[in-house]
Structure 1
């Protein structure tokens, strides 16, 4: 799945993209809590060395570490500001974890070291997915387990593209290229399976899961106006114009609002494999 992208992932996640994820950490952790819970449910009792890929601000790593306190946890992410917060959160709960600012596709991880590798929405941004999966396979002990959660297609996740559909024509957004690094890079589950198998992973399963996620209704303006390519575009324009467009986008979310919550039906892949 080698591809080119108009977005410089390193610049994005070490710049405004990473900084806004830090600022919105509580909203995002609440939204994606069912995904962290799913990874914990997959976690065997016997794990001793856990690697969390694209761990961001640390939610899935912290949840797994709390469930398996005897395991040593390592978080890896390309984003220095997000990992700085993850490290602070780990220290606050007394967790002795390692955090590596690096690209999992290229970083020389220790060979045959980890017996569990996981990711919550952190594996869709590689320039070359096959190379990344091969690098992770080299870092896995024989028999090690792998669990990834990734988005299915944009069409199956209407919430995630509602604002873009509502006001995208008014903004200069980077074009979506099928298979390019980004949120929906793993939309083709069959292709993901083939890349894992080619990298040496066995017993590969790509299972469709639908997770009932939600955010507090009062957090929706921050979510729409701050996050993702659309949030970046809104923050770069004059405030009065950004407010008009954001309010226009917010109106399009009416079908997702249930009382004081905004419902997000997350159409994802749960990807299982063994080294």
Structure 2
């Protein structure tokens, strides 16, 4: 069953607008890029004892569908996200596969989950966008069974992930309206501070909190680089506002800035992240 709930706020507008559409259009390359993280999460799910899995910020559904394949008919995966376009892509893929999965279009911070209903809660880069992270993780704790595991991957700092900010840094001199990233604000690097993440989980009622750095090699085809740099992230959100000469200059400038990451037919970079594990007491 698919539940649709009204979602509001800046993040909902973003992910139901240009950002969500860009992710859907780039789904194949992004799934390839982030597959190592998907594998890390899927490998950690105990398929012998887990029956119900919640994927928070499931996006276009690649991670939860991988877990659904592992669980088979005995399990059930539910994905929640605020982006209707991304969930539509996820649902279409699930239907093609006949996967035991369903989707909720809602904000996990406030959605009324069935209490104590999940054995495992996972997320691949989906939990850094809450307006109130303590409230969100407290809500997820209420949705978790006693002893259930929470496991998610989040980015470390922008300084440790120069690839992820290459486009905006290179384009900034040419685009004065380039949005800036505020420390700890909802977004990609909101969980950069390990101590802040620990405090959020502790205050929201999670126990046995373990936060470990992971560094993962990621790749995608060089032929997809122009699409990646021009459609995604802060640059992707503002580039369409530029006139054609400016747009051409920006793309040329930014593409050159990615040269250090290009190795023949592939783009290669290191992703510096946290693997966070906690347990519902």
Fold match (TM-score > 0.5): yes
Conserved in 2, the CA contact under 8 Å of 1:12 and 1:18? yes
Q: Deviations over 1:205-254 (max 9, x none)?
A: 11100011111011000000111111121122223321210110010111
Matched, 1:169 2:173: yes
Aligned twin of 2:213: 208
**Following TM superposition, where does structure 1 have runs of at least 4 consecutive aligned residues deviating by more than 6 angstroms?**
none
Could you state the TM-score of these two structures normalised by the residue count of structure 1? 0.96
Deviation at 1:8, TM superposition (A): 1.2
Deviation at 1:262, TM superposition (A): 0.6
Task: Give unpaired runs (5+ residues) of structure 2.
Answer: 1-8
Aligned twin of 1:196: 201
Could you state the TM-score of these two structures normalised by the residue count of structure 2? 0.94
Tell me how far apart the structure 2 counterparts of residues 261 and 84 of structure 1 sit (CA, whole Å).
29
Aligned twin of 1:91: 95
Aligned twin of 1:50: 53
Deviation larger for 230-239 or 191-200: 230-239
CA RMSD in angstroms comes to 1.0
Aligned twin of 2:191: 186
Tell me how far apart the structure 1 counterparts of residues 173 and 108 of structure 2 sit (CA, whole Å).
34
Where does 1:122-161 land on structure 2 (aligned, <5 Å)?
Answer: 122-161=126-165
Matched, 1:66 2:69: yes
Deviation at 1:173, TM superposition (A): 2.0
SS at match of 2:172: helix
Where does 1:92-111 land on structure 2 (aligned, <5 Å)?
Answer: 92-111=96-115
